[in-house]
C-alpha cells in the first residue's frame, strides 16, 4: 500500500500513476471505462507503491477530443458516472493512501459550452469577449498565420458574429480569452469547486497556451538550423514549421499562474503539475513557471517523450533542467496518453521489450524529480497497431497514414488474458480493441511470474522509497568516455552511485579518482555479486552501489 505523506510538499519526489478513465475498467458493460471501474482497481494501483493518481478528463463533454473539450467543468460525464461516483472513488483512494490529481483543461472549452454559445451569439453580449475573436483581413482570410495543432488554420469563421475565433486544437475547441479578468475568475471558480470537494491537485493541460499575443502578430518560420526538442507536433504536421512566439507562452501567463497558486495556498497540501509544450524553449518556460514558489509546483515537458533512449540525451535533458531551473521542480515521464508507448519507441526488437521496460523504469526511478507512470507501462505494453476504421482520435484520422494518432497508446488495460477484451469490459465491443499482444501481457499473467515487468515496477518503487536520496536528494553526473549514464544521488549521509548501460554492447565503468565504492546494492532486476576493479556491465544493464566516505 502506498504511504500517504501529510506534509505540504508530499508531491516532491512523488510517483504519480496516470489513469485514462475510458480505458481502465468498464463496470456497466458499455465498452467504456468509468469511475466505478477505477474504484474497483484502486487496490491494484496501491499495490504498485505509487503516491497519487492523475485522472484524465471525466467532465461532461461532447467527446470530440475524448473529453479535452469540456462542456461543464463542475460535473461528471454520464459515460463515466456521477459526482457521487467520483466522491466514492476519491474516498476509497484516500483510504488507501493515494492522492487524487485531476486534469484541468482550461485553455479552451467545447464549442457547446454555455459560455461559448453566449459569446458567439453577438458582439455585444456579456460574454462577447470571453473567447479570442478577431475580424478578418480585408480579403476575408484569417487574422494571421497561426495554425492548429490538429491541422489547418488556427482560426474558424463564425457567420453570426462575422468574425474568426481562435482554436489551437479542433475548431470545436475555441480558446478562452485570458486577457479578460472575468474569464480568469470563472475558471478559478471551477478550480475551487474541486478543491472544496477534496482533490489533492491539478494537472494543467497545455499550461502555456492560456494567453495569446494581444496584437495577433504572425508567427515567424522556424530557422532552418533550429532544433525543436519539444515534440509539439509530428514532422508530418506543418504546425512544427512555425516558431510559436505569439500564439502561446505569453508573459501575462505568469500573473495568472500566481493567482492559481494563491488559490491553492488557501488549502492544505495541494499541488499542480503543468504540461509545457514549447519546443526548444520548454526548459526556459518550465523555469519561469516553477521558480519562486509562487506559481506551479512542478512541470513536465516532452523532452523524454521522444524516440531517444540514450545516455547522452537523458543527461542533456536532466542537466539542462538542473542548470535552468534552480529552485523549481520537474516531473519526468517516458509515456503518457499523447505519445507512442516508450517500449515501442525504445526497443529495437520485440524480444528486448521486457528488458527495455525494466531498464527504463530503473532509470526513471533514479532521476531527480517526481515521476509519472502511464497505465499499462508497468506491464511493458507496446504501442497497439490499429486499423484506420478502428481509430477514434481526430488527430490520427486527420494525418493518417503519415501519423497514426494517439489511439495506439490508449487501448484498454488488459486485466485477464483468458477473458474477452482481456477483462476490460463484458460488452460485445470495446471502444478501442485490445490487441492480442497486449492481452498476452495482462495483469493476471504477470502476477504469477516473479520476473515480470509488473513485479519489477513494484520492486523498483519500493527500492526508491527506501532511499531518501532518490526522493529529493541532489544529483550529479559523472563524465564517461562511453555511452554510459552515470550519476550520484545524495542526501544526508547517504550517497548512491548509479551506472546505466543503455547500449547493446558490454561496457565497463571506471569510477573517477577519489571515489570509493562501498556496498553494492541489489537494484531490482540488476543484481550482481560484489567485486573489485572496473565495473563491468552487460548490454542494457545497470549498477548501483553506495559511495563510501
Residue 546 host element (H or E): strand 541-548
Helix (H) or strand (E) holding 102: strand 99-104
User: In the structure grid, which three cell numbers stand for residue 42, read together?
Assistant: 484502486
Q: How many Cα atoms occupy the beta-carbon half-sphere of 228 within 13 Å?
A: 19
CA dist., res. 230 & res. 235, Å (int): 12
Q: Across the strands, what pairs with 305?
A: none
Which neighbouring-strand residues pair with 282?
Answer: none
Q: Could you tell me which of 70, 151, 149 has the C-alpha nearest to residue 103?
A: 70
Active site residue 87: no
Cβ contacts of residue 229 below 8 Å, gap of 6+? 279, 280, 282, 302, 303, 306
Give the integer Cα–Cα distance in Å for 392 and 486: 42
Helices (H), 98-251: 114-119, 181-197
> Are the CB atoms for 359 and 500 separated by under 8 Å?
yes
Distance CA 190, CA 131 (A): 17
CA gap 257, 127 in Å, rounded: 23
d(CA 317, CA 299): 14
Cis? peptide before 24, omega within 30° of 0: no
E strand or H helix that includes residue 76: strand 72-76
> For the chain, what is the largest distance between any 2 Cα atoms, rounded to a whole number of angstroms?
79
As a whole number of angstroms, the distance between CA 353 and CA 366 comes to 20
Half-sphere exposure for 364 (CA within 13 Å, toward CB): 29
Catalytic residue among 77, 205, 228, 303: 205
Is 275 a residue of the active site?
Answer: yes
Q: Which residues contact 297 (CB under 8 A, 6 or more apart)?
A: 11, 201, 271, 272, 273, 290, 329
Burial class (CB in 10 A: 0-12, 13-18, 19+), 382: buried
Question: Which residues, other chains included, contact 308 with Cβ-Cβ below 8 Å and sequence gap of 6+?
Answer: none
Cell numbers for 546:
553506495
3-state secondary structure 515-530: CEEEEECCCCCCCCCC
- Residue 161 φ then ψ, to 5°: -80, -15
CA distance 289 to 286: 5
Active-site pick, 26, 85, 228, 275: 275
Q: For residue 491, how many other CB atoms are within 10 A of its CB?
A: 15
Helices (H), 4-82: 35-48
Please list, in sequence order, all residues whose beta carbon lies within 8 angstroms of the beta carbon of residue 235, skipping any fewer than 6 positions away.
none
**Where in the sequence numbering do the catalytic residues fall?**
205, 275
Amino acid at each position: 500500500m502506498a504511504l500517504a505523506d501529510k506534509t505540504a510538499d508530499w508531491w516532491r519526489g512523488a510517483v504519480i500513476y496516470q489513469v485514462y478513465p475510458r480505458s481502465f475498467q468498464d463496470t456497466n458493460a458499455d465498452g467504456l471505462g468509468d469511475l466505478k471501474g477505477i474504484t474497483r482497481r484502486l487496490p491494484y494501483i496501491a499495490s504498485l507503491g505509487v503516491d497519487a493518481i492523475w485522472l484524465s478528463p471525466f467532465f461532461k463533454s461532447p467527446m470530440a477530443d475524448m473529453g479535452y473539450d469540456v462542456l461543464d467543468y463542475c460535473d461528471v460525464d454520464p459515460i463515466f458516472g456521477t459526482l457521487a461516483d467520483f466522491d466514492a472513488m476519491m474516498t476509497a483512494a484516500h483510504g488507501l493512501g493515494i492522492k487524487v490529481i485531476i486534469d484541468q483543461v482550461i485553455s479552451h472549452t467545447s464549442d457547446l459550452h454555455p459560455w461559448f454559445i453566449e459569446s458567439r451569439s453577438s458582439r455585444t453580449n456579456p460574454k462577447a469577449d470571453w473567447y479570442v475573436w478577431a475580424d478578418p483581413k480585408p480579403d476575408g482570410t484569417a487574422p494571421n498565420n497561426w495554425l492548429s495543432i490538429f491541422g489547418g488554420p488556427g482560426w474558424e469563421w463564425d457567420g453570426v458574429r462575422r468574425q474568426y475565433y481562435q482554436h489551437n486544437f479542433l475548431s470545436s475547441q475555441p480558446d478562452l480569452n485570458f486577457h479578460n479578468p472575468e474569464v480568469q475568475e470563472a475558471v478559478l471558480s471551477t478550480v475551487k469547486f474541486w478543491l472544496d470537494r477534496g482533490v489533492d491537485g491539478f494537472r494543467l493541460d497545455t499550461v502555456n497556451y492560456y494567453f495569446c499575443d494581444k496584437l495577433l502578430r504572425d508567427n515567424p518560420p522556424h530557422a532552418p538550423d533550429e532544433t525543436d526538442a519539444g515534440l509539439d507536433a509530428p514532422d508530418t504536421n506543418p504546425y512544427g514549421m512555425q516558431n510559436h512566439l505569439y500564439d502561446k507562452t505569453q508573459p501575462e501567463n505568469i500573473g495568472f499562474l500566481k493567482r492559481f497558486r494563491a488559490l491553492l495556498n488557501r488549502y492544505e497540501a495541494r499541488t499542480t503539475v503543468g504540461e509545457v509544450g514549447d519546443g526548444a524553449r520548454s526548459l526556459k518556460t518550465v523555469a519561469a513557471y516553477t521558480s519562486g514558489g509562487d506559481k506551479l509546483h512542478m512541470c513536465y515537458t516532452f523532452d523524454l517523450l521522444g524516440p531517444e533512449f540514450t545516455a547522452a540525451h537523458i543527461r542533456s535533458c536532466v542537466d539542462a533542467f538542473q542548470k535552468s531551473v534552480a529552485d523549481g521542480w520537474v516531473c519526468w515521464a517516458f509515456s503518457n496518453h499523447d505519445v507512442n508507448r516508450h517500449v515501442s519507441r525504445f526497443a529495437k526488437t520485440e524480444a528486448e521489450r521486457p528488458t527495455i521496460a525494466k531498464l527504463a523504469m530503473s532509470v526513471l526511478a533514479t532521476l531527480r524529480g517526481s515521476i509519472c507512470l502511464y497505465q499499462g507501462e508497468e506491464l511493458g505494453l507496446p504501442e497497439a497497431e490499429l486499423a484506420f476504421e478502428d481509430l477514434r482520435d481526430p488527430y490520427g484520422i486527420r494525418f493518417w497514414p503519415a501519423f497514426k494518432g494517439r489511439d495506439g497508446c490508449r487501448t484498454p488495460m488488459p486485466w485477464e488474458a483468458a477473458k474477452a477484451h482481456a477483462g476490460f469490459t463484458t460488452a460485445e465491443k470495446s471502444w478501442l480493441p485490445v490487441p492480442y499482444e497486449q492481452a498476452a501481457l495482462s495483469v493476471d499473467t504477470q502476477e504469477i511470474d516473479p520476473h515480470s515487468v509488473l513485479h519489477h515496477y513494484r520492486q523498483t518503487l519500493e527500492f526508491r522509497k527506501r532511499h531518501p536520496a532518490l526522493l529529493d536528494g541532489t544529483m550529479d553526473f559523472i563524465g564517461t568516455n562511453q555511452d554510459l549514464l552515470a550519476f550520484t544521488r545524495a542526501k544526508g549521509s547517504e550517497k548512491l552511485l548509479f551506472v546505466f548501460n543503455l547500449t547493446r554492447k558490454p561496457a565497463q565503468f571506471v569510477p573517477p579518482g577519489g571515489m570509493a565504492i562501498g556496498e553494492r546494492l541489489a537494484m531490482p532486476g540488476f543484481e550482481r555479486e560484489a567485486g573489485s576493479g572496473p565495473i563491468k556491465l552487460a548490454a542494457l544493464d545497470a549498477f548501483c552501489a553506495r559511495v563510501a566516505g
